[in-house]
Chains A and B, each alone.
Chain A
């Protein structure tokens, strides 16, 4: 990763979603492939893929470990540049960091010297948002409530469990309501009940704020329950093996949706696609 300071200076600042920006492709990956070189040896992480995510669409990427799902998110965030092909965001080629997305990475990037509440407040303290202290305090309190961390706001990340840190990171991203969310296994470390509660909140928030979401997960049921479309990746080097629309009505009752017939049918279909790849992925 080059230190692209100068490149970043010229980037447009995040702009709010306007009424005119409705419909159409938000993210378009066109023949995008990515190779990594590890100690001089080239490894292909992603075979040329084509993937479009529409505005306000919730798309999940599922697949075996190391299939390039996270690589795809990194490409959209501008953290990586494709070896070949192009990534477009809102019609523009992604060059340098994409500041219009909110990215919840697999590893939490909380600031260890700030308490949970102060970590969640960070995005609102930035000049590009320019919120008053009072507004920040109120919104942080709401967010802490939302992710179920009441009583832990004064704790430092070092004093929180992995699942709690994950929720702080989630709150820190949701608080500034980016137009697009990139989420890399955000709920992996949570217990089953909490996961459902978070699904419910995430659905409400993304619907309410008209967000576009790219969601990486291992959990097929989670993917179906949340998404408008599920994309199954093959084992490394990743390519898209299958795509399914999820024709479940919104708003969904995330606590009950998995008992619907459509849900079990989709689950079985997608699992059949995924199964072979998981087996292949584990062999490697």
Chain B
């Protein structure tokens, strides 16, 4: 075992080096081609870097905070309610049969298309974006939790009942941890959707947040500003999903054991 782990580590270091080299090469190619053939439509990595540094000196932190808090609040409200409803409907055959198709019906409306409605209802501040994120997160976590509860091996539940578990204990010791795999993967799936929902809301109507930076830059044909906002969004996406993967690894460490 030790041997294979050793070689795995060596090869993963090599892969990382190759990936970094490739990224550097792509950025260099972008810079060189831009300098040679003009960069009015593509900007330049060097200009973007300068702009981001400039933003960091002014109000980037404010915009990032706005977007992240929309995502965080929306995920918390929407995720929690989705999980709770998924647990309830997953547990009850009758309620599940009655309500799930209705929820599927609502979900068939593309959520982003609700943005204008929410803006009319809730104004230009954080509220409509939070609602948009909430709705996206709600559906994704509802469906995942519901499937998770339904996928639990019935024999596990029966064996707990024979041991004398009350229905509360059955829930705490089998249903909740059993559905956890699905809930965590639901959160992982919901993160990029939450990002998209928040930024789309900001794009349509906002004074704050990364979407508003993006919209402002686009309106002024400020290519460098546009790319800079995209780069910041990309970095935020990578960081949050890396955190989510780390949390998943830790919470589902028992699963890494399964071959």
Q: A residues engaging B (CB < 8 A)? A: 1, 3, 5, 8-9, 13-14, 77, 79, 97-99, 101-103, 105, 107, 109, 111-115, 122-123, 125-129, 155-156, 158-159, 176
Residue B240 is within 8 A (CB to CB) of chain A in the complex: no
**In whole Å, how far is B156's beta carbon from the nearest beta carbon of chain A?**
5
Task: Report Cα–Cα, A159/B1, bound state, in Å.
Answer: 14
Contact A14-B255, Cβ < 8 Å, known A103-B159, A107-B155, A109-B155: no
Give every chain A residue within 8 A of B154 (Cβ-Cβ): 1
Residue of A13, A77, A155, A158 near B164 (CB, 8 A) is: A13
Give every chain B residue within 8 A of A112 (Cβ-Cβ): 254-255, 258
Q: List 27 A-B contacts (CB under 8 A).
A: A5-B167, A9-B167, A14-B164, A79-B158, A99-B161, A99-B162, A103-B159, A105-B155, A105-B159, A107-B155, A109-B153, A109-B158, A113-B177, A113-B178, A113-B254, A113-B255, A122-B173, A125-B173, A126-B164, A126-B169, A127-B166, A155-B257, A158-B254, A158-B255, A158-B257, A158-B259, A159-B257
Residue B165 is within 8 A (CB to CB) of chain A in the complex: yes
Give every chain B residue within 8 A of A176 (Cβ-Cβ): 163
Residue B160 is within 8 A (CB to CB) of chain A in the complex: yes
B194-223 vs A, CB cutoff 8 Å, 1 = contact: the mask equals: 000000000000000000000000000000
Give every chain B residue within 8 A of A8 (Cβ-Cβ): 161
CB-CB nearest in chain A for B169: A126
Q: Which 3 A-B pairs have the closest CB atoms?
A: A158-B258, A109-B159, A158-B257
Task: Name 16 extra pairs, CB < 8 A, besides A109-B153, A158-B257, A159-B258.
Answer: A1-B154, A13-B164, A14-B164, A97-B158, A98-B162, A99-B161, A99-B164, A101-B162, A102-B163, A112-B255, A113-B177, A113-B180, A123-B164, A125-B173, A128-B164, A156-B258
CB-CB nearest in chain A for B163: A123
Q: B residues engaging A (CB < 8 A)? A: 93, 153-156, 158-167, 169, 173-174, 177-178, 180, 252, 254-255, 257-259
Task: Report Cα–Cα, A211/B164, bound state, in Å.
Answer: 18
CB-CB nearest in chain A for B159: A109
Residue of B156, B158, B165, B177 near A126 (CB, 8 A) is: B165
Give every chain A residue within 8 A of B173 (Cβ-Cβ): 111, 122, 125
CB-CB nearest in chain A for B93: A3
A contact patch SS: loop
Report yes or no: A122 in contact with B155, Cβ–Cβ below 8 A.
Answer: no
Task: Report Cα–Cα, A37/B159, bound state, in Å.
Answer: 24
**In whole Å, how far is A41's beta carbon from the nearest beta carbon of chain B?**
23
**In whole Å, how far is B154's beta carbon from the nearest beta carbon of chain A?**
7
Give every chain B residue within 8 A of A125 (Cβ-Cβ): 169, 173
Task: Report Cα–Cα, A98/B156, bound state, in Å.
Answer: 16
CB-CB nearest in chain B for A160: B257
Task: Report Cα–Cα, A9/B252, bound state, in Å.
Answer: 33
Most chain B CB neighbours (cut-off 10 Å) among A9, A102, A111, A114: A111
Task: Report Cα–Cα, A172/B169, bound state, in Å.
Answer: 16
**In whole Å, how far is B121's beta carbon from the nearest beta carbon of chain A?**
41
Give every chain B residue within 8 A of A127 (Cβ-Cβ): 166, 169
